[in-house]
Amino acid sequence: MATVYMGVDIGGTSTTAGLFDEHRRLLAKTTFSTLGNDAQYFGDPESFMDLLTLELTALTGHSRMQDIVAGVGIGVPGMVDPDRGFVGEATNLGWKDVALAKGMRMRMHVPVRIDHDVRTFAWGEVMAGAAKGYKNAICLTIGTGVAAGILIDGKLVRGAHHCAGEIGHDSIAGLATACPCGKTGCLETVVSASGIVRLAMERGLTPRTASRPLTAYDVYRYGAEGDPTAIGIFHYVAQLLAGKLETAIALLDPEIIVIGGGVSEAGELLFTPLTEILFRQFPWLEGKLRVVKNALGDEAALIGALYHVYP
């Protein structure tokens, strides 16, 4: 009888898969390179699906997945139609129009459900993390880019084209930095790990270890030690993010804003200026609207993926 569930978090660099028992306890986990060595699977979803099937089979220790696995949930970094199980586009993977759920179902003979990675992250936090028990939430990830999963009246919002929450490429007036998407001044040219590194280099910060390039973590460490330039960068990041969140708050009236992803590890350096700016704009929300770091760490999307199939 099928009694275990699997969650998969496909990232641009690495993919993590977890095996959960019927009480949602994580039994085993594996991480592997999404695109293989030398990105050999870029633009080749069939080979990736073969690889994922091998990894999932190894994780269960069972050759006949259908005998023990009740369902597989997958979070995908791209445009996803969860009803059709279809990935419209995933630029980091070189995918276009991929029938991912069907492809995995045919390989494993178990039910498969997929959704966008940030909605999967949000669903994890809503079901088992910082937003558990809330009905109106905005769950953001800030890492390579920035995006949001939105919960309204207890329902995860997907939008007419499954693109709700894609605020990373919403532009900011006066900002002229070129974005890889082709536009200029997108939010994530500042509010992202690479944005923080770019600002730090422009403002003269150097790597903490001379043998490798400057990282966002270096900038965080400088800030934590009181470096005014680094503190100023996080303040600027908070200011631009707050500008977009103010509009989101006015439109959606959330009870909680949850922030995860690598940049959220900056903690107070980011959250203190962010909450100060937001509550200056919405003083009546102080004590009502919570702005918190995500609770499930980097496993939020893995756990969210589990809940795509957990009954």
DSSP H or E run through 264: none
Closest CA to 137 of 286, 292, 271: 292
- Tell me how far apart the terminal alpha carbons of the chain are, to the nearest angstrom: 16
User: What span, in angstroms and rounded, lies between the C-alpha atoms of 280 and 276?
Assistant: 6
Contact 187, 172 (CB under 8 A): yes
Contact 110, 72 (CB under 8 A): yes
258 is a site residue for Zn ion (CB under 5 A): no
The one segment of 145-153, 168-176, 229-237, 281-289 that binds Zn ion by CB under 5 A? 168-176
Q: Give the residue with the Cβ less far from Zn ion, 190 or 205.
A: 190
Closest CA to 220 of 212, 229, 211: 229
Q: Give the residue with the Cβ less far from Zn ion, 69 or 190.
A: 190
Q: Give the residue with the Cβ less far from Zn ion, 131 or 179.
A: 179
Total residues at the site for Zn ion (CB under 5 A)? 5
User: What span, in angstroms and rounded, lies between the C-alpha atoms of 118 and 75?
Assistant: 8
The 64-93 site mask, x for binding Zn ion (CB under 5 A), equals: ------------------------------
Compute CA 262 distance to the chain's CA centroid, rounded to the nearest angstrom.
10
Q: Give 223's DSSP letter.
A: H
* Side chain identity at residue 31, one-letter code: T
Cβ 77 to Zn ion shortest distance, Å = 15
Cβ 185 to Zn ion shortest distance, Å = 8
User: What span, in angstroms and rounded, lies between the C-alpha atoms of 151 and 123?
Assistant: 9
Cβ 181 to Zn ion shortest distance, Å = 3
Contact 253, 220 (CB under 8 A): no
User: What span, in angstroms and rounded, lies between the C-alpha atoms of 144 and 91?
Assistant: 13
**What is the per-residue burial (b if ≥16 Cβ within 10 Å, else e) of 121-133?**
bbbbbbbbbbbee
Cβ 89 to Zn ion shortest distance, Å = 14
235 is a site residue for Zn ion (CB under 5 A): no
Q: Give the residue with the Cβ less far from Zn ion, 185 or 232.
A: 185
181 is a site residue for Zn ion (CB under 5 A): yes
Among 179, 196, 230, 291, binds Zn ion (CB under 5 A): 179
The one segment of 13-21, 46-54, 107-115, 165-173 that binds Zn ion by CB under 5 A? 165-173
Cβ 252 to Zn ion shortest distance, Å = 22
Q: Give the residue with the Cβ less far from Zn ion, 119 or 169.
A: 169
Among 4, 6, 72, 186, binds Zn ion (CB under 5 A): 186
The one segment of 10-18, 50-58, 178-186, 223-231 that binds Zn ion by CB under 5 A? 178-186
Phi, psi at residue 245, to the nearest 5°?
-70, -30
**How does strand 69-76 pair with strand 79-81?**
unpaired
Cβ 172 to Zn ion shortest distance, Å = 11
Among 107, 113, 162, 169, binds Zn ion (CB under 5 A): 169
Q: Give the residue with the Cβ less far from Zn ion, 187 or 309.
A: 187
What is the binding site for Zn ion (CB under 5 A)? Answer: 169, 179, 181, 183, 186
